[in-house]
Amino acid sequence: MSSGTTTTPTVATFARYCDTFSQTDCPKTKGCAWVNSKCTYFTGCTPFAKTTDDDCSAIADRCITDGTHCVEVNVCTDFKKLLPCKKANNKYCYWDTTTVTTGVCIEATTCA
């Protein structure tokens, strides 16, 4: 028979991975983003409606803007607008209108 006492189990709490990073370190950390004044898990750039590169890169280092929302820095040909067509994965890009009237983002192979 029990003596009438109950024991409350101890619950351990652990910080989630991204919670441990500061505002300075969070955007540089793979898998994390600085959103609403806290570091949280990062799933991609496109959900964020930011119009400047600074605002996008403050969320995560791999984000830049296309003028409407954030996009991930990738290969030049992935950029569909003029604004983000500048640098991708440490390569320079430019907006080429010589073959397509609307323009296309391509990798620069020489400096003019």
Per-residue pLDDT of the chain (112 residues; tens, 9 = 90+): 556 677 777 765 556 889 999 999 999 998 999 999 999 998 899 999 999 989 999 999 889 888 899 988 888 888 788 888 877 767 788 888 887 677 888 888 877 6
The residue range of the domain holding 88 is: 74-112
> Helix or strand or coil: residue 99?
coil
User: Which sign does the torsion angle of CA 59, 57, 89, 48 carry?
Assistant: positive
For the beta carbon of residue 26, count every other beta carbon within 10 angstroms.
23
pTM of the model: 0.65
**41: part of which helix (H) or strand (E)?**
strand 38-41
60 and 96 within one domain: no
Number of folded domains that form the chain: 2
Do residues 35 and 61 both lie within one domain? yes
Label the pairing between strands 38-41 and 104-107: unpaired
Asked whether residue 33 is domain-assigned, the answer is yes
Beta bridge partners of 79: none
Calpha distance 77→84 (Å, rounded) = 11
